[in-house]
Amino acid sequence: MLEFKDTVAEAVADVQDGSTVMIGGFGNAGQPFELIDALLQSGARDLTVVNNNAGQADEGLALLIKEGRVRKMICSFPRQSDSWHFDAKYRAGEIELELVPQGNLAERIRAAGAGIGGFFTPTGYGTMLAEGKETRFLDGKWQVFETPIHADVALIKALKADGKGNLVYRKTARNFGPIMAAAAKQTIVQVSEVVPVGGLDPENVVTPGIYVNTIVKVG
């Protein structure tokens, strides 16, 4: 049942301690800062977070990590010039890291939403990141077995939603939004604008409302 909430605090109120939370965004583009701030305020802890990165500077995901709310990061590119909060927790042994090649991360998320139990991919074959994984020679190349990544909750930023929960995004801020929306049990979306049913051209809908549970307008 699709719900429209008045505040970001209400939107994230049901996130439980110990949840796996997918957070959209590539760097700051598409990162749902308002929802993340509300999650921080909610006090939810012991979280496993799935994101491309591990937070930038002193905002958004970086603050969740700084405040010790994240037990484990599943991501492709944690180390950046401004990832000091993750770096400190990692060096102190206070956060677990599952490092995943970016395309495998995206496809594992997609697989979860699409009901795929696993897949073989050439990416990572022969590298440290494929150690211990099943391999097969398929289609003329060695491939590595990868499993889906499911989540309890996805926090996503889109540009607009209509009254049915259909979403459109903006430019490269789309990134992980559509696949995370499908992979999570509960998908919470912050948007800049809500339009009435019929207000989005059906040909241009990127995420159909079937994947969306909660919408909150911000800004």
Partner 1 sequence: MAETSTSAVPSGTAQKTSDTPLGRDDLARLVARDIAPGSFVNLGIGQPTLVSNYLTEEQNITLHTENGMLGMGPEAKGDEIDPDLINAGKIPVTELPGASYFHHADSFAMMRGGHLDVCVLGAFQVSAKGDLANWHTGAPDAIPAVGGAMDLATGAKDVYVMMTLLSKDGKSKLVPQCTYPVTGVGCVTRVYTDKAVFLITDDGVRVRETFGVTFEELAELMDVPLR
Binding site for partner 1 (CB under 8 A): 26-30, 52, 76-80, 86-87, 90-91, 97, 99-107, 109-110, 121-129, 142, 169-179, 206
Choose between 13 and 29: whose C-beta lies nearer to partner 1: 29
* In the complex, least distance from residue 206 CB atom to partner 1, rounded to whole angstroms: 8
Choose between 47 and 149: whose C-beta lies nearer to partner 1: 149
* In the complex, least distance from residue 130 CB atom to partner 1, rounded to whole angstroms: 9
* In the complex, least distance from residue 60 CB atom to partner 1, rounded to whole angstroms: 12
* In the complex, least distance from residue 5 CB atom to partner 1, rounded to whole angstroms: 23
Choose between 178 and 209: whose C-beta lies nearer to partner 1: 178
Residue 65 near residue 85, CB atoms below 8 Å: yes
Choose between 103 and 118: whose C-beta lies nearer to partner 1: 103
Choose between 4 and 84: whose C-beta lies nearer to partner 1: 84
CA-based radius of gyration for the chain: 17
* In the complex, least distance from residue 213 CB atom to partner 1, rounded to whole angstroms: 19
Contacts of 54 (CB under 8 A, 6+ apart): 61, 62, 65, 73, 75, 77, 78, 79, 83, 86, 97
* In the complex, least distance from residue 80 CB atom to partner 1, rounded to whole angstroms: 8
Q: How are strands ordered across the β-sheet holding 141-146? A: 119-121, 141-146, 135-138
Choose between 25 and 165: whose C-beta lies nearer to partner 1: 25
